């Protein structure tokens, strides 16, 4: 008989896996709470049109898309950003600004599978709308850092690479490139880390041989690691745009420094982001050892709300993936150990014992205690082993002797001490034990 397997890249979450995932989501939510972000959700199936040309060629080629029974072209969402732009755009005037929203949701991309890349994965999406200045980036990068620190990770484990598409635009413009050349050069920059010089091929096919001086300048720009080096590079260019942009950089880096986060941040102009809609600062988080694919990515996308039919509304945000986050926690020994133990286990003798126990089981559970008992008749003696194996802290014993005396025996399973309490007092004694 054929065994049915899940589709490649679609994970199944057995309880142990689920508890790990829950741990990640719990800490993401806690971080969102302390940063004052409100949670939202949205449909998993969207009109295909939402992603066409807006997310970029790479994501478009990875869509799980089909025609529904009503003849609509639809796609499983590959990301949240276009959707959240639609949500915010539709109610922009009614929402108090800055709009600080987050969501935890599943996404689908038909990717070539590799470590850290699946076809269904979850992301924490965090976005701020209505704030044009780098104050929003400060808030978001602080959030991004804290979302990893919340698990016990430190600057030894991860870092954030900070870059700026505007800076590239203004710099390449100052070097004499027109807009189409700048865009093609940014595609080359995006690919350079992976492909080296081959990354310039497409540029050369489109615009002819690459001026060696230009190439040298681009490669030198990619090496920049400090704000001071940026200032030095621009000093001779006399570009007002670049000068003004450095003021934004100063504000952003200054804000992060004041928050004590400099140790997590690296200036790295090699990050330009593959998604089509980014317009300004962009950033990505990576593990320090460089063993994993990106942990998170984001940036500013000031035009997208308007392009999707809403008002002009500045926006910036990022998403963290659950797959690489889980791998990093595992590597660092920070994944939680799966524990599924009741607080209380009932040892039950015969029908009368069962009746007596059930009344307490129900009341204890209603009071929030986690209570377990053998569902079927099990020899009385064997139940003590079941109680110990369950990991419970207390055993409540409803044997014939106890019933005859009108008591319940309570055994502390950590030190095996026992005492009897009148049946009417069981609730209070258990409550006090767990206080
Ligand atoms: P992204 O860089 O495409 O950005 O994805 C963000 C993160 O999601 C990645 O760094 C990675 O951890 C995770 N991720 C992406 N694809 C996969 C995959 N196939 N398998 C496992 N994990 C994956 C965005 O999605 C933007 N919409 C983020 C954003 C929010 N920009 C502004 N707001």
Mean pLDDT of 199-227: 95
From 60, 294, 316, the mutation candidate for ligand 1 (largest count of ligand atoms within 8 A of CB) is 294
- pLDDT: is 275 or 289 the higher one? 289
Let me know if residue 33 belongs to a domain.
yes
**Residue ID of nearest Cα to ligand 1 atom 1:** 297
Same domain, 154 and 297: yes
Let me know if residue 339 belongs to a domain.
no
Distance of CA 417 from the midpoint of ligand 1 (Å): 53
From 121, 163, 274, the mutation candidate for ligand 1 (largest count of ligand atoms within 8 A of CB) is 121
- pLDDT: is 57 or 217 the higher one? 217
- Give the range of the structural domain holding residue 351, as residue numbers without chain letter: 344-433
CA gap 271, 264 in Å, rounded: 16
Let me know if residue 8 belongs to a domain.
no
Same domain, 238 and 112: yes
pLDDT of residue 1: 61
pLDDT of residue 60: 85
Residue 47 structure tokens? 């009109």
Residue 419 structure tokens? 């005492």
Mean pLDDT of 124-139: 98
pLDDT of residue 110: 96
Residue 184 structure tokens? 């093609």
Secondary element (H or E) of residue 298:
strand 296-300
Let me know if residue 5 belongs to a domain.
no
CA gap 402, 380 in Å, rounded: 13
Chain segment 44-99, per-residue pLDDT in tens: 999 999 998 777 777 889 999 999 999 999 999 999 999 999 999 999 999 999 99
Mean pLDDT of 145-156: 98
Same domain, 73 and 34: yes
Mean pLDDT of 302-327: 97
Same domain, 181 and 43: yes
Contacts of residue 239, Cβ cutoff 8 Å, sequence gap at least 6: 170, 171, 173, 174
Mean pLDDT of 19-41: 98
The structural domain count of the chain equals 2
Residue 307 structure tokens? 């392009």
Asked whether 121 lines ligand 1 (CB < 6 A), one says: yes
Nearest partner of 316 among 289, 292, 286, 283, judged by Cα: 283
* Ligand 1 atom nearest to 55, measured from its CA: 27
Asked whether 294 lines ligand 1 (CB < 6 A), one says: yes
The bridge status of strand 45-47 relative to strand 296-300 is: unpaired
Question: Residue 165's pLDDT band (boundaries 50, 70, 90)?
Answer: very high
Which CATH number covers residue 408? 3.40.50.800
Same domain, 186 and 47: yes
Mark 131-140 as b/e (b = at least 16 C-beta within 10 Å): beebebbbbb
Asked whether 137 lines ligand 1 (CB < 6 A), one says: no
Let me know if residue 256 belongs to a domain.
yes
* Residue 33 scores a pLDDT above 70: yes
Given 331, 359, 393, the domain boundary residue is 331
pLDDT of residue 339: 87
Contacts of residue 60, Cβ cutoff 8 Å, sequence gap at least 6: 51, 52, 53
Burial class (CB in 10 A: 0-12, 13-18, 19+), 287: buried
**Residue ID of nearest Cα to ligand 1 atom 18:** 117
- The model's pTM is 0.94
Chain segment 399-433, per-residue pLDDT in tens: 999 999 999 999 999 999 999 999 999 999 999 99
* Ligand 1 atom nearest to 298, measured from its CA: 31
Same domain, 95 and 152: yes
Task: Map tokens 């540029």 to a residue.
Answer: 203
pLDDT of residue 23: 97
Let me know if residue 1 belongs to a domain.
no
Chain segment 328-338, per-residue pLDDT in tens: 999 999 999 99
Residue 49 structure tokens? 């049109």
CA gap 41, 99 in Å, rounded: 15
Asked whether 127 lines ligand 1 (CB < 6 A), one says: yes
Task: Map tokens 């026992």 to a residue.
Answer: 418
Same domain, 252 and 110: yes
pLDDT of residue 409: 98
pLDDT of residue 54: 75
Distance of CA 352 from the midpoint of ligand 1 (Å): 58
Asked whether 11 lines ligand 1 (CB < 6 A), one says: no
* Residue 274 scores a pLDDT above 90: no
From 9, 321, 326, 329, the mutation candidate for ligand 1 (largest count of ligand atoms within 8 A of CB) is 321
CA gap 427, 360 in Å, rounded: 7
Asked whether 317 lines ligand 1 (CB < 6 A), one says: yes
Mean pLDDT of 32-55: 94
Given 276, 308, 331, the domain boundary residue is 331
Same domain, 357 and 389: yes
A 10 A CB-CB count for 346 gives: 26
Same domain, 327 and 349: no
Asked whether 111 lines ligand 1 (CB < 6 A), one says: yes
Which CATH number covers residue 92? 3.30.930.10
Same domain, 239 and 126: yes
Mean pLDDT of 10-20: 96
Question: Residue 2's pLDDT band (boundaries 50, 70, 90)?
Answer: low
Query: CA end-to-end span of the chain, whole Å?
Result: 53
The bridge status of strand 344-348 relative to strand 394-398 is: parallel
Asked whether 298 lines ligand 1 (CB < 6 A), one says: yes
Distance of CA 320 from the midpoint of ligand 1 (Å): 6
Distance of CA 151 from the midpoint of ligand 1 (Å): 20
Helix axes 179-195 and 165-174, enclosed angle (nearest 10): 120
Same domain, 289 and 158: yes
Q: What percent of the chain has pLDDT over 90?
A: 93
Same domain, 367 and 285: no
Residue 272 structure tokens? 């330009």
Distance of CA 321 from the midpoint of ligand 1 (Å): 6
Let me know if residue 2 belongs to a domain.
no
């Amino acid at each position: 008989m054929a065994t049915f397997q899940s589709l490649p890249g679609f994970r199944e979450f057995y309880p142990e896996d689920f508890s790990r995932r829950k741990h990640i989501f719990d800490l993401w939510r806690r971080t969102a709470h302390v940063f004052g972000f409100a949670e939202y959700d949205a449909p998993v199936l969207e009109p295909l049109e939402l992603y066409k040309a807006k997310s970029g060629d790479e994501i478009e080629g990875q869509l799980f898309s089909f025609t529904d029974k009503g003849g609509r072209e639809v796609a499983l969402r590959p990301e949240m950003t276009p959707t959240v732009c639609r949500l915010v755009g539709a109610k922009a005037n009614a929402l108090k600004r800055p709009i600080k929203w987050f969501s935890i949701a599943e996404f689908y991309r038909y990717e070539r599978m590799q470590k850290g890349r699946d076809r269904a994965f979850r992301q924490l999406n965090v976005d701020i709308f209505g704030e044009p200045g780098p104050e929003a980036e400060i808030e978001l990068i602080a959030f991004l850092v804290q979302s990893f620190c919340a698990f016990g990770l430190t600057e030894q484990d991860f870092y954030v690479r900070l870059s700026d598409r505007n800076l590239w635009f203004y710099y390449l413009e100052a070097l004499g490139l027109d807009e189409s050349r700048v865009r093609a050069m940014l595609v080359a920059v995006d690919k350079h880390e992976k492909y080296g010089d081959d990354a310039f091929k497409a540029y050369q096919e489109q615009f002819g041989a690459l001026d060696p001086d230009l190439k040298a300048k681009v490669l030198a720009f990619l090496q920049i690691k400090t704000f001071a080096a940026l200032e030095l590079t621009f000093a001779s260019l006399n570009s007002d745009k670049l000068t003004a942009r450095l003021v934004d950089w100063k504000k952003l880096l200054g804000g992060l420094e004041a928050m004590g986060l400099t140790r997590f941040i690296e200036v790295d102009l090699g990050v330009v982001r593959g998604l089509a809609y980014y317009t300004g600062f962009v950033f990505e988080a990576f593990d320090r050892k460089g063993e994993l694919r990106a942990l998170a990515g984001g940036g500013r996308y000031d035009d997208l709300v308007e392009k999707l039919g809403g008002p002009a509304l500045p926006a910036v945000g990022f998403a963290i993936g659950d797959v690489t986050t889980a791998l990093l926690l595992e590597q660092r020994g920070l994944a939680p150990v799966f524990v599924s133990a009741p607080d209380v286990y009932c040892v039950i003798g015969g029908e009368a014992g069962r009746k007596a126990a059930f009344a307490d089981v129900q009341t204890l559970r209603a009071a929030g205690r986690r209570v377990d008992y053998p569902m079927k008749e099990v020899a009385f003696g064997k139940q003590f082993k079941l109680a110990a194996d369950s990991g419970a802290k207390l055993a409540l014993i409803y044997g014939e002797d106890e019933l005859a005396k009108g008591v319940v025996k309570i055994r502390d399973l950590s030190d095996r001490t026992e005492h009897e309490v009148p049946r009417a007092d069981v609730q209070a004694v258990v409550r006090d034990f767990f206080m």
